[in-house]
């Protein structure tokens, strides 16, 4: 990523104190202590409010054992592993019941698809190998991979990932498959909503620099909490302004699209990578940004000033808002819907308004600075 601190006072390799003076909200329930420790080691002040309660024991163990025995007694053609925690918990439970060897033997004869690296890891830990997994880690791409295939008569086991996958089962059934859903755990809202309400209020009051999210259900629970206290608009506005919505992966980030919230996602879908991203990003936002553009140009943003190759560029509010969203995601595509949501109030609420703002921005910065990605949106042309 071709983005540097304008004053060149920040060393990205230094952990201690890199986030001193920053307040970060953490919404994770699972492995929250690990994430909090990573942030606090770097000097961040952490506000923890678990959005969810993940408790595998809430699922009826008898029902899980029954479906496990049902699967063992049949020929399984395909197994879709959707999460690492779910796959591990299922196999651990089967081991306690003395059914693991037979379950692994049954699944080992099937075509195995995994949604992402965590489910891949859980499979390989037990000696199973996936035949395919999408780079995106999105379940939609798993379905796309299967779309068009004749699944008539195929028996498919789907390990649910905390939320019902009934629509997935229905889609596969329409292709002729017989689907067996394995419910290992359910994701529910946190039993005590007060910490989440306080986190929402803290964000709306402008007292946070970033909030981290590690699952799409956590995003949904957070936005539901914001709506419950009448602060959803304020929360969205804060994220669109200068608070970082840090998401561990693209699936989590996708949950924010309906709200028009810009997100940041690390290169690797790992908690440590997300914290490292914040370690770099937050100081840059405070000190000013120097963006190296394609073609050898340099763009400096500091406070409200925009300086291109040493000369200040005057931008009206709409192009400035678009530039802010693009700079927050350098080199990445930002959809027209997200850009539209960043435009100042009073701007015509249509994608044409985005096109006009982009046109004015290109006029000010150069036509090659902003690239159009057909049917997806726009991106800032940064140096490789």
Closest to 72 measured CA to CA, from 46, 37, 98 = 98
The yes or no reply on domain 56-185 and CATH 3.40.50.10090 is: yes
- Of 282, 207, 284, 275, nearest to 238 by C-alpha is 207
Which part of the chain is CATH 1.10.10.10? 289-380
- Residue 120 has a pLDDT of 95
> What CATH architecture is 14-54+190-286?
3-Layer(aba) Sandwich (3.40)
Q: Is the pLDDT of residue 13 over 70?
A: no
The strand pairing partners of 182, in sequence order, are 159
Model pTM score: 0.60
pLDDT at 347: 62
Confidence at residue 348, expressed as pLDDT on a 0 to 100 scale: 59
Gyration radius from the chain CA atoms: 23
Check residues 283 and 246 and name the one with the higher pLDDT. Answer: 246
Across the range 221-250, mean pLDDT stands at: 92
Phi-psi region of 352 (alpha: psi -120 to 50; beta: other; left: phi over 0): alpha
Q: State residue 4's pLDDT score.
A: 42
- What are the start and end residues of each CATH 3.40.50.10090 domain in the chain? 14-54+190-286, 56-185
Contact 351, 340 (CB under 8 A): yes
Q: Which helix (H) or strand (E) holds 144?
A: helix 139-146
Which segment of 78-92, 109-123, 328-342 scores lowest on mean pLDDT? 328-342
The DSSP output letter for 13 is T
Mean pLDDT throughout 298-325?
83
Q: Which CATH number does 289-380 carry?
A: 1.10.10.10
């Amino acid at each position: 990523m071709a983005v540097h601190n304008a004053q060149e006072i920040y060393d990205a390799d230094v952990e201690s104190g890199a986030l001193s003076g920053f307040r970060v909200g953490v919404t994770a329930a699972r492995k929250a202590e690990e994430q909090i420790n990573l942030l606090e080691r770097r000097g961040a002040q952490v506000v923890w409010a678990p959005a969810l309660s993940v408790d595998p024991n809430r699922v009826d163990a008898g029902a899980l054992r029954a479906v496990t025995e049902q699967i063992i007694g049949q020929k399984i053609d395909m197994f879709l592993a959707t999460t690492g925690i779910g796959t591990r918990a299922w196999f651990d439970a089967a081991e306690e019941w003395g059914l693991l060897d037979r379950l692994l033997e049954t699944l080992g004869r099937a075509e195995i698809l995994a949604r992402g690296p965590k489910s891949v890891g859980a499979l390989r830990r037990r000696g199973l190998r996936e035949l395919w997994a999408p780079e995106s880690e999105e379940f939609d791409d798993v379905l796309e991979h299967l779309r068009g295939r004749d699944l008539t008569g195929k028996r498919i086991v789907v390990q649910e990932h905390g939320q019902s996958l009934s629509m997935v089962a229905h889609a596969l059934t329409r292709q002729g498959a017989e689907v067996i859903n394995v419910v290992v755990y359910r994701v529910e809202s946190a039993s005590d909503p007060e910490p989440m309400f306080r986190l929402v209020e803290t964000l709306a009051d402008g007292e946070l620099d970033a909030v981290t999210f590690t699952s799409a259900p956590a995003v949904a629970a957070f936005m539901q909490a914001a709506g419950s206290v009448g602060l959803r608009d304020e929360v969205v506005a804060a994220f669109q302004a200068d608070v970082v919505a840090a998401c561990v992966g693209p699936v989590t980030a996708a949950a924010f699209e309906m709200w028009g919230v810009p997100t940041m996602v690390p290169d690797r879908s790992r908690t440590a990578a997300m914290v490292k991203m914040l370690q770099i990003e937050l100081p840059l936002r405070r000190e000013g940004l120097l963006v190296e553009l394609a073609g050898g140009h340099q763009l400096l943003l500091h406070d409200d000033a925009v300086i291109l190759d040493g000369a200040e560029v005057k931008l009206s509010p709409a192009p400035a808002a678009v530039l802010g969203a693009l700079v927050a995601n350098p080199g990445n595509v930002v959809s027209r819907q997200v850009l539209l949501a960043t435009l100042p109030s009073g701007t015509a609420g249509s994608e044409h308004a985005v096109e006009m703002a982009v046109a004015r921005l290109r006029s000010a910065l150069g036509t090659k600075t902003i690239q159009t990605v057909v049917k997806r949106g726009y991106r800032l042309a940064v140096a490789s």
